[in-house]
Amino acid sequence: MKQIIKLTIITCAVTLALSGCSESTNSSSYTAPLTSSKAHVKELSTYSAETFFDTTSIMGSSFSPHGDKILVSSDESGIYSLYEVNVQTGGKTRLTDFTDSTYPIRYFPNDERVLFTKDTGGNERFHIYVRETDGTVKDLTPGDETRASFAGFTKNASQFFITSNQRDAKFMDLYRVNSKTYKVTPVYQNTLGLNVGAISPNGRFIALSKSNSNKDSDTFILDTYTKTLKPQLISKHHTPAQYSPETFSADNKYLYYSTDAKGEFSQMWRYDLASGEHSPALADDWDVSFIYFSTSGRYQVSGVNADASTKVTVIDTQTNKEIAMPKLPAGNLRGVSFSADEQSMAFYLNSDTAPSNLFVWQVGSNNTQQLTNTLSKKINQNDLVQSTIVRFKSFDGLEIPGVLYKPKQASSTNKVPALIWVHGGPGGQSRTGYSAMQQHLVNHGYAIFAVNNRGSSGYGKTFFHLDDKKHGTDDLQDIVYGKKHLQSLEWVDTDKIGIMGGSYGGFMTAAALAFEPEEFKVGINIFGVTNWVRTLNSIPSWWESFKKSLYDEMGDPATDGDRHRAISPLFHARNIIKPLMVIQGANDPRVLQVESDELVAAVKANGVPVEYVLFDDEGHGFSKKENRITASNAYLKFLEQYLKAE
């Protein structure tokens, strides 16, 4: 799979794979007896950004050792803080109170100490912290330049593992930490540019990966019981393919890894550590995104990226059958975890109109308990919009998928303005699920078409690589043809179509205004790259192991500098003649503030309306609710003035 860690904007503001991360809501049920589009418009309520972001974003689902509490991070205070949720009552106890957001890792297996992570001001230098049971906090990975991540406990919980770049800013070494004393011991010094993928429960085997190109990677096994500590390649192959370690079996006998070597989509395979035999474990008609197991291995959890929605399956490995869960509200499962005794299962449900809420289920029973109720009480769920998956033909006949939101105000007699939304990446994917920002705009009468242009993940490796070194050209034409598709819809105002997006999507927004200046009425660039020459020469040091993959995707600045300049909107800002809004975080380590400063100045020199919103306390994305509200209000005001009113 493409390393989309590189430039993807994470709107829940953390670049870690934390379970249950979303802007979550619950719904109050209401059915309006509407029989016509006019009645529909009359009955619809619209809500402010403050109301939409009154919904609480929540993530994390780690059980306490006794299974009576669940560790989460919630932004109900305005930033993400840690809370314990009582499994019986749903009551929450706040555990952290920093000025920066804190994100959950997990409880210690045998006591109620907590591991968590945070950076400073959005600089993405995440540290690992422990919160003692008395409330005191210790930074286990100090250092202004340090970036660290958690890599798992041993099964007996006497030790846990972290990766850190404290020795060499470019590479993440592996360390073992004593669970009682916090003494840190080096395990593997990473001089080859490998990345830790998984560690066996007994701590003996380390699975490592190496990115060779954006089409090819390898998986290695390191046996820590040997003296040489030399990683052994287990993914020998002759045709470029991705091999990525996922997890070990609970009995330490097998490594599960993903690979696209067998077809268009990623499958899960199993490697026998004793015999060296490889065997298939799980395949689907889409990418198998992940697989993991409960502590004993009794339950297997897997996810498939099925047409922009994740379908999670939980298998009882004793029967090899999917577990029978009770009837649940509409939505997709995510963030599944089990208590230590495996009697309880925590999970989130999420949909376009009902964002993630935390549930707990006594396995085998008929009932679940909803522990959170996070949609603003002022919002009627029936005023929110369910998306549809739409496909259209691009300039060369290629079929392009997208996620379309049709405002409830829209009809053939009440045409609405529309926005093309472009996801981050390169290589991201617009997906179904709740977004307060998008629902806010749709609620106010703006259609949103989230186009998954060529190069997006989730549609096979051929589709994924169609934009390699063609950014700002072929993929931009997919966006233009997405606009043409909108213009074919009888309920869209064909003369009022704008474009917006974050990170790579911000680049595409600026590129659309610079290279297709007559196509879109307005553009909103959120944390977007506008100068690839500078960006590719100033990538964070910790991206070193992915740099070759990034260069295969975008081009090496040493040899492709002319192309990077040609596709960079900043150097063609004289072409921008339509109103532009730019959103920027002052602490962004990926898209430096100077990029946005220069673009804004250049477009203003054209005499074109430009709105610039700079957040002094954000990085590459939003971590503070107040800033999300400010930005969403700014989007709406800008669109009302320059798109709807035109």
How much is the pLDDT for 545? Answer: 76
46-55, 454-463, 493-502, 549-558: range with lowest mean pLDDT? 549-558
Q: Where are the beta strands (DSSP E) in 503-636?
A: 523-526, 580-585, 610-615
Q: What is the pLDDT of residue 82?
A: 98
Cβ atoms of 359 and 347 closer than 8 Å: yes
Kindly indicate the confidence band of residue 19, based on its pLDDT and cuts at 50, 70 and 90: very low
Q: Which CATH class is domain 381-644?
A: alpha beta
Burial (Cβ within 10 Å: 0-12, 13-18, ≥19) of residue 614 = middle
pLDDT of residue 536: 87
pLDDT in tens, 38-68: 444 457 999 999 999 999 999 999 999 999 9
Residue 414 clears pLDDT 90, i.e. is over it: yes
**Reduced to 3 states, what is the DSSP secondary structure of residue 22?**
strand
pLDDT band at 553 (very low <50, low <70, confident <90, very high): confident
Q: Is the Cα dihedral 257, 260, 265, 271 positive or negative?
A: negative
Residue 430 has pLDDT above 70, yes or no: yes
For residues 600 and 597, give the distance between their C-alpha atoms in angstroms, rounded to a whole number. Answer: 5
Sign of CA dihedral 378, 383, 389, 394: negative
CB 221 within 8 A of CB 207: yes
Report residue 552's pLDDT band, with 50, 70 and 90 as the boundaries. Answer: confident
Q: What's the rounded Cα separation, in Å, for the pair 486 and 270?
A: 45
As a whole number, mean pLDDT of residues 94-123 equals 96
Render pLDDT for 502-538 as a digit per residue (tens, 0 to 9): 999 999 999 999 999 999 999 999 999 999 998 888 8
- Which residue type occupies 155? K
CA angle 596, 598, 604 (to 5 degrees): 100
Question: pLDDT tens digit string along 67-91?
Answer: 999 999 999 999 999 999 999 999 9
- Which tens digits make up the pLDDT trace of 268-297? 999 999 999 999 999 999 999 999 999 999
Residues 6 or more apart whose CB falls under 8 angstroms from that of 208 comprise 188, 194, 195, 196, 197, 219, 220, 221, 222, 231, 245
Average pLDDT, the chain: 91
Instruction: Answer yes or no: are the C-beta atoms of 469 and 454 closer than 8 Å.
Output: no
Report the distance separating Cα 267 and Cα 265, nearest Å: 6
210 pLDDT more than 80: yes
Q: What pLDDT is recorded for position 36?
A: 38
pLDDT tier, 149 (very low <50, low <70, confident <90, very high otherwise): very high
What is the greatest pairwise CA distance in the chain?
76
Confidence band for 330, pLDDT divided at 50, 70 and 90: confident
Phi–psi pair at 97, nearest 5 degrees: -150, 65
CATH 3.40.50.1820 residue ranges of the chain are: 381-644
**Average pLDDT, integer, range 578-592:** 93
Tell me, rounded to whole angstroms, the distance of Cα 580 from its chain centroid. 26
The pLDDT, as a whole number, for residue 41 is: 46
pTM of the model: 0.89
Rounded Cα–Cα distance for residues 317 and 313 (Å): 12
pLDDT of res. 540: 78
pLDDT at 191 over 80: yes
Per the listing, tokens 């503070």 go with: 624
Q: Give the integer Cα–Cα distance in Å for 205 and 313.
A: 27
Residues of the chain with CATH 2.120.10.30: 192-294
Contacts of 125 (CB under 8 A, 6+ apart): 119, 144, 145, 146, 147
Evaluate whether 46 touches 364 at the Cβ level (below 8 Å).
no
Write out pLDDT tens, residues 463-492.
Answer: 999 999 999 999 999 999 999 999 999 999
What's domain 192-294's superfamily in CATH? Answer: TolB, C-terminal domain (2.120.10.30)
Query: Nearest to residue 532, comparing CAs of 474, 478, 592?
Result: 592
**Six-digit token pair at 167?**
């020795």
Contact status, residue 500 vs residue 478, Cβ threshold 8 Å: no
Higher pLDDT, 588 or 136: 136
Vertex 475: Cα angle to 470 and 478 (nearest 5): 150
Tokens of 532: 């690839």
Give whole-number Cα distances, 135 to 97, 130, 289, 513, 584, in Å: 11, 10, 36, 51, 35
Q: Which residues, at least 6 apart from 517, have a Cβ–Cβ distance to it below 8 Å?
A: 575, 576, 577, 578
User: Which pLDDT score is estimated for 646?
Assistant: 67
pLDDT at 558: 87
Torsion-angle region of residue 226: left (phi > 0), alpha (psi -120 to 50) or beta? beta
Q: Which helix (H) or strand (E) holds 479?
A: helix 474-487
For residue 476, the Cα-to-chain-centroid distance in whole angstroms is 22
Separation between Cα atoms, residue 254 and residue 248, nearest integer Å: 6
Residue 574 structure tokens: 């004289």
Dihedral angle computed from the Cα positions of residues 190, 548, 246 and 201, in that order, rounded to the nearest 10 degrees? 0
Q: Is the dihedral of CA 495, 497, 498, 504 positive or negative?
A: negative
- What does the alpha-carbon distance between residue 288 and residue 305 come to, in Å, rounded to a whole number? 6
Asked if residue 13 has pLDDT above 50, the reply is no
